Chain A
Amino acid sequence: SQTIHQWPATLVQPVGSPLSLECTVEGTSNPNLYWYRQAAGRGLQLLFYSVGIGQISSEVPQNLSASRPQDRQFILSSKKLLLSDSGFYLCAWNLDRTAGNTIYFGEGSWLTVV
C-alpha cells in the first residue's frame, strides 16, 4: 500500500531564516505531488503541484518555492521566512490528476515564524 511521509512535524523558525519541508511517497511511482497550506477557518490553499521530476507549477505567487529532485520526493523551501508564512503545510499525492481522482495527505507540518 502507498504511504506518504512528511517532516518535520513541527518547527519554529525566526523571521528571515530559511525553510525546508520534505515529503516522500512510498509504494507507488509517478505520483502527482502537491503542497497545500491550511489557515484556520479557511479551506486548503494549493501552493504547488508537480506531475513529474523537475516539473513544478505554482498556484500562488509568494515567498515559497518547491522542487522535485526525485520521482517520489517533494520539497517546499524558502530563502527568507516572513511572519505570514506561519501555518499548517500539507503534502499530498494522487495518481491521475486529469481523471479527478481523489487526493491523499501527509500528516502535515506546523510552521511558526517568530
Chain B
Amino acid sequence: QKEVEQDPGPLSVPEGAIVSLNCTYSNSAFQYFMWYRQYSRKGPELLMYTYSSGNKEDGRFTAQVDKSSKYISLFIRDSQPSDSATYLCAMSFYGQNFVFGPGTRLSVLP
C-alpha cells in the first residue's frame, strides 16, 4: 500500500462549481497536513496547512482532516479558471520528512 494515495484526475468542472480533492494515507503518525497548488512547469505553492484533525478555511478554500479515517480533503468554492492546476497533498510528523501525493490535475472550464 502506498503511503499517500491521490486520484490523479484529470478532473474537469465548470466555472463556479464546488471542487472536492482528496487524499488517503496509511501512516496514522502523520500530524501535519498541507495542500499545494502547482501550475504547469512551476514550483508548488502552499495553499493550506493544518495540524491534526479538523477544518480550516481561507477564502474560497477549505481543508478538512479526518485522522480516524486517514483522509484529507480540499474544497474549492466558486471555482475559477485560474484554479486550473495540479493540487498536491502532503503530510509529515514530528522529526520526519514530508510525504507527497502524486497530485490531482484540475481543469476549471469557463
Contact = CB atoms under 8 A, between A and B. Distances in A.
Interface of A: 6, 41-44, 46, 49, 59, 88, 90, 97-108, 110
Contacts of A102: 32, 34, 46, 49, 90
A110 B96 CA distance: 27
Interface string B69-110: 000000000000000000010101111111111110000000
B43 interface: yes
The residue in A43, A46, A90 that gathers the most chain B C-beta atoms within 10 A of its C-beta is A43
Given A43-B103, A104-B46, A108-B43, A99 B97 contact: no
Contacts of B94: 98-100
Contact of A44 (B32, B46, B49, B100): B100
Contacts of B102: 41-43
A44 B86 CA distance: 13
Given A41-B8, A100-B93, A110 B41 contact: yes
B95 A108 contact: no
Given A41-B8, A107-B43, A100 B31 contact: yes
Contact of A59 (B36, B49, B92, B97): B97
Contacts of A97: 95
B13 interface: no
A49 B93 CA distance: 16
A112 to B, nearest CB: 12
Interface string B36-61: 10000111111001000000000000
Contacts of A99: 94
Nearest to B89: A43
Contacts of A42: 102
Interface in B9-31: 31
A107 B46 contact: no
9 contacts: A41-B8, A43-B103, A44-B88, A44-B98, A98-B94, A100-B96, A103-B34, A103-B98, A107-B42
A91 B46 CA distance: 14
